[in-house]
A and B are shown apart, each in its own frame.
Chain A
Amino acid sequence: MERMTEEQVKTIANMLRKRSLWMIHYCTGCGAMELPPTMTSRYDMERFGLAPYVTSRQADILLITGYLNVKTLRRVITVYEQMLDPKYVIGFGSCALNGGVYWDSYAVIKQLDRYIPADLYIAGCMPRPEAIISAFRHLMELIDSGKADGYKRYKRNLAYYKENQRKVLG
């Protein structure tokens, strides 16, 4: 049998990866309210191979559920950096996207992807479970096609992200 090329290995790895995604259980904001219905019997995200997980070191997905307070941002960055590659970030709700209703608040950051790379955003406040599941499906497609490369971007542009983080966290 011929040896597989690196490209082929990657394709197979991505195909398998997308089928077992573990999501770290970190409720950073109020969007976390729609996660229990998504996890439990009615919407049941486990049928897509998604499950909540407790520690950051074994998780694949970091969900930023809603607004991010500056104090939480510090913890989120720690959690993100603890997670092992490959890792994916989903910005959840309009607050992660552009500040949402907290556009004038002194405590809430306005753009998630200035501080950690987001692979995907879900619009709305708050997104319904259907939207969350559709986002997960979309993330799977991105992983399959190799487009979910947020963790690579973070490494490549570390100086940019660190600079932005420093500016906010002081």
Chain B
Amino acid sequence: MNKSYELFIGPNHPGIPGNFSLKIELEGDTVVSAKGDPGYLHRAFEKAMEGRYYIQNLALIPRICVPEPDINEAAYAMAVEDLMGVEIPERAKYIRTIVLELARVANYTMWLGGLAGTLGLYTLAQWSIGDRDYALDLFSDICGARVYHMYIWPGGVRRDLTPGWEDSVLSYIRYLKNRLIDYDNIFLKNVMFKYRTKGIAVVTKEQAIEWGATGPILKAAGVAQDVRKDDPYAAYEYLDFEIPTLTDGDSWSRAMIRRWELENSLNMIEQAIKKMPKKGPVCAKMPNPLKGYVPEGETYAKVESARGEHGFYMVSDGTGKPYRVAVRGASHTHMFTIAEKVLVGQRLADVSHTLVSLDICPPEIDR
């Protein structure tokens, strides 16, 4: 009498982190198979970028990944700099590091709220998303925008920091470090949280390597891999930080890794502010952006996003517009190779929190 039935999760569902649909087959309330259905956020970025000048593309790229736009700017800028052979000024490297880490903090606080929300604890969602807002205020101090900053661009950053910005960042870090203790007490040390996430959605070390996982999934499975360490960009080579790893690879470990990384990021911002040269140029001298200034060639630039490796493969033919830009979002692999396999055997109640735990970001998949 075992009869399975199909259920559509999404595109509008609070558990899905965005506009994304999932077709699952259930037996009782156990998932038998899961299939992702992307394309609801497809905006044809890669096509649009081919038709625009390098400088015009700056307005497009942050929109590829909405929760953490700065990684796109950084990867794009790095690809252009790599093709041109430009070395960016020292101060710009540090500013990039601070902005990128602040974006990671904003992403993780948002993510923490999302995870707590899907597990039914909306209090933490109220807290952490409210706290994330103060980070967005810091962004709007330096570039005027809360979400899409367009601050990092080829050659360095768009303009220097506003006076006193470092102090506001430091006071925000002090504030958030105190808040993290509250988060732990209410959520991460909570017994219910442990019951709901221990042993759920396990990705073992072998599986993680075989399936090509990156970022927190790989770290939670026990592989210490991080682009910031392996192929340092910006000012990461001057900073002292460790890559956290755990061995279980379940939903709980991933949450802990992210919590750890959040604290790491805060420490890194503090270090970067301390070590940053107080004066100096923030942008290298660049030729006229409307002329064809990027020489012919191809390159692959990658950065570590909150979800894993985020890369831009860029081909230039020497004209003012890029010939081809291919974007690698970490969620692409995480959704179709990992989540579809990991969801099998889960209970229906765990589906939405598994997706959040793997940090699926649909705009990155569809582009």
Q: Which A residues are closer than 8 A to B by beta carbons?
A: 24-30, 32-34, 36-37, 39-42, 52, 54, 56, 67, 69, 71-72, 75, 79, 101-102, 104-108, 125-126, 128
Q: For residue A67, which residues in chain B have a CB less than 8 angstroms away from its CB?
A: 43
Q: For residue A37, which residues in chain B have a CB less than 8 angstroms away from its CB?
A: 129-130, 132-133, 136
A41 engages B148 (CB within 8 Å):
no
A26–B337 Cα distance when bound, in Å, is 26
Please give me the 7 A-B residue pairs with the lowest Cβ-Cβ distance, nearest first: A26-B12, A41-B130, A30-B66, A40-B129, A42-B130, A105-B44, A41-B126
The contact of B67 among A33, A71, A72, A106, by CB within 8 Å, is A33
Chain B 332-367 interface 0/1 with A at a Cβ cutoff of 8 Å (1 = within): 000000000000000000000000000000010010
Q: For residue B193, which residues in chain A have a CB less than 8 angstroms away from its CB?
A: none
B59 engages A107 (CB within 8 Å):
no
Kindly state whether residue B310 has any CB partner on chain A within 8 Å: no
Q: For residue A52, which residues in chain B have a CB less than 8 angstroms away from its CB?
A: 14
Report the minimum CB–CB distance from A16 to chain B (whole Å). 27
Kindly state whether residue B146 has any CB partner on chain A within 8 Å: yes
Residue from B67, B125, B130 whose CB has the most chain A CB atoms within 10 Å: B130
Kindly state whether residue B30 has any CB partner on chain A within 8 Å: no
Contact A28:B130 (CB < 8 A) given known A36-B113, A101-B59, A106-B47: no
Q: For residue A34, which residues in chain B have a CB less than 8 angstroms away from its CB?
A: 146-147
A–B pairs, 24, beta carbons within 8 Å: A25-B13, A27-B19, A30-B363, A32-B18, A33-B67, A37-B130, A40-B113, A40-B125, A41-B127, A52-B14, A67-B43, A69-B40, A69-B42, A69-B43, A69-B366, A71-B40, A72-B19, A101-B48, A101-B60, A105-B43, A105-B48, A106-B47, A108-B44, A126-B148
A72 engages B11 (CB within 8 Å):
yes
The contact of A107 among B11, B13, B44, by CB within 8 Å, is B44
Known: A30-B66, A75-B12. 19 other contacts (CB 8 A): A27-B19, A32-B18, A32-B19, A33-B66, A40-B126, A40-B129, A42-B133, A54-B14, A69-B39, A69-B40, A69-B42, A69-B366, A71-B42, A75-B40, A101-B59, A101-B63, A105-B48, A106-B47, A108-B44
Please name the residue on chain A nearest to B366 by beta carbon. A69
A107–B40 Cα distance when bound, in Å, is 10
Q: For residue B232, which residues in chain A have a CB less than 8 angstroms away from its CB?
A: none
Report the minimum CB–CB distance from B355 to chain A (whole Å). 14
Q: Which B residues are closer than 8 A to A by beta carbons?
A: 11-14, 18-19, 39-44, 47-48, 51, 59-60, 63, 66-67, 110, 113, 125-127, 129-130, 132-133, 136, 146-148, 363, 366
A41–B39 Cα distance when bound, in Å, is 32
The contact of B148 among A56, A69, A75, A125, by CB within 8 Å, is A125
A36–B18 Cα distance when bound, in Å, is 12
Report the minimum CB–CB distance from A141 to chain B (whole Å). 26
A97–B192 Cα distance when bound, in Å, is 45
The contact of A104 among B48, B63, B129, by CB within 8 Å, is B48
Report the minimum CB–CB distance from B343 to chain A (whole Å). 21
A102–B42 Cα distance when bound, in Å, is 11
Q: For residue B66, which residues in chain A have a CB less than 8 angstroms away from its CB?
A: 30, 32-33
B11 engages A26 (CB within 8 Å):
yes
Please name the residue on chain B nearest to A34 by beta carbon. B147
Residue from B13, B63, B126 whose CB has the most chain A CB atoms within 10 Å: B63
A41–B113 Cα distance when bound, in Å, is 12
Residue from B43, B59, B366 whose CB has the most chain A CB atoms within 10 Å: B43
Q: For residue B132, which residues in chain A have a CB less than 8 angstroms away from its CB?
A: 37
Q: For residue A29, which residues in chain B have a CB less than 8 angstroms away from its CB?
A: 19, 41
A25–B59 Cα distance when bound, in Å, is 27
Report the minimum CB–CB distance from B322 to chain A (whole Å). 15
Please name the residue on chain B nearest to A36 by beta carbon. B129
Please name the residue on chain B nearest to A33 by beta carbon. B66
A108 engages B129 (CB within 8 Å):
no
A71 engages B39 (CB within 8 Å):
yes
Q: For residue A126, which residues in chain B have a CB less than 8 angstroms away from its CB?
A: 146-148
